Amino acid sequence: MRLLACVAPEQSPRLATYAAGQLRDPQAEVRLGACALLAASGAGLVDFAARALGPALADRDERVSQAALKALVRLVPSGNEAATELARRQLGSQRPWVRRSALAALAHLAPPPADSSAVAQVCALLSDEDWQVRLAAARALPRLARRGDAAASCALEAALRDKDPTVRRVAAGALAGQLGGARGVLALGAVFGPQGPGPPGVDV
């Protein structure tokens, strides 16, 4: 199916429908190929792609979840309400890779500023047990929250004390953008110190 994706026309409802059906196959490799084929042949089929790929974000195989995310971002533009709602439903998944995929999808799909309930969902994930989920939440929040949003700023400020240095760095940058001006500089200084960020890979 991946070979078929390489030669598929950009818009083929017939191939896209076939690919969507294969997303329910019990074999992960088949579902991976289905994501690739749908991404290759689903151009312009926005609503169809959203309905097919949104549930695939919750796939039990992490690779399929990531492939569905890539296809969704390629085919579905920001502002699509159906896909946004499907992504929000996956934020509470028990699988950490599904929460990560849902956060990335939501950051792409939700028209900024997102409504307060969506922002609250992402804020809550800044306390997730999985550090990569917390990182994804820190990256998504500034794309969703209005600048100066009190809930987002409070959650990001708490994330400055995260045990993972990468989460702290990303949260600091997001908080600086939220606050702006001198308060933003102070947020960066809280993590990086007065000299600014250190070399890549160095926890300062």
CATH number at residue 138: 1.25.10.10
19 compared with 3, residue with greater pLDDT: 19
pLDDT at 41 over 50: yes
Same domain assignment for residues 17 and 117: no
pLDDT at 146 over 70: yes
Same domain assignment for residues 49 and 73: yes
Same domain assignment for residues 91 and 190: no
The pLDDT of residue 42 is 86
Confidence of residue 198 (pLDDT cuts 50, 70, 90): very low
19 compared with 181, residue with greater pLDDT: 19
Torsion of CA 41, 75, 45, 17, to 10 degrees: 50
The pLDDT of residue 74 is 93
Same domain assignment for residues 76 and 94: yes
CA 204 – CA 121 distance, rounded (Å): 30
Average pLDDT over residues 115-123: 93
Average pLDDT over residues 164-191: 79
Residue environment code for 167-203, b if the CB has 16+ CB neighbours within 10 A, otherwise e:
bbbbbbbbbbbbbeeeebeebbebbbeeeeeeeeeee
In order, the DSSP letters of 50-102 are HHHHHHHTT-SSHHHHHHHHHHHHHHS-TT-HHHHHHHHHGGG-SSHHHHHHH
Q: What are phi and psi of 199, to 5 degrees?
A: -65, 155
Confidence of residue 197 (pLDDT cuts 50, 70, 90): very low
Q: Which SS3 state, helix, strand or coil, does residue 23 take?
A: coil
Across all residues in the chain, what is the average pLDDT? 87
**Alpha-carbon torsion (34, 37, 41, 43), positive or negative:** positive
Confidence of residue 187 (pLDDT cuts 50, 70, 90): low
The pLDDT of residue 196 is 45
Alpha helices in the chain (DSSP H): 2-7, 13-22, 28-41, 46-56, 62-75, 81-89, 96-109, 116-124, 131-144, 150-159, 165-179, 181-192
Nearest residue to 80 (alpha-carbon basis) of 59, 41, 99, 52: 52
Same domain assignment for residues 171 and 102: no
pLDDT at 3 over 70: no
For residue 128, the enclosing domain spans 112-204
Average pLDDT over residues 161-170: 95
Number of domains in the chain: 2
**Alpha-carbon torsion (64, 67, 71, 76), positive or negative:** positive
Same domain assignment for residues 84 and 121: no
Same domain assignment for residues 123 and 101: no
Confidence of residue 114 (pLDDT cuts 50, 70, 90): confident
The pLDDT of residue 13 is 87
Confidence of residue 82 (pLDDT cuts 50, 70, 90): confident
The last residue of a domain, from among 62, 89, 111:
111
Question: Could you tell me what percent of the chain has a pLDDT over 70?
Answer: 84
Same domain assignment for residues 119 and 98: no
Average pLDDT over residues 90-105: 96
The last residue of a domain, from among 86, 111, 136:
111
Same domain assignment for residues 120 and 150: yes
The last residue of a domain, from among 80, 111, 142:
111
Same domain assignment for residues 124 and 107: no
Same domain assignment for residues 4 and 74: yes
Same domain assignment for residues 117 and 105: no
The pLDDT of residue 69 is 95
185 compared with 115, residue with greater pLDDT: 115
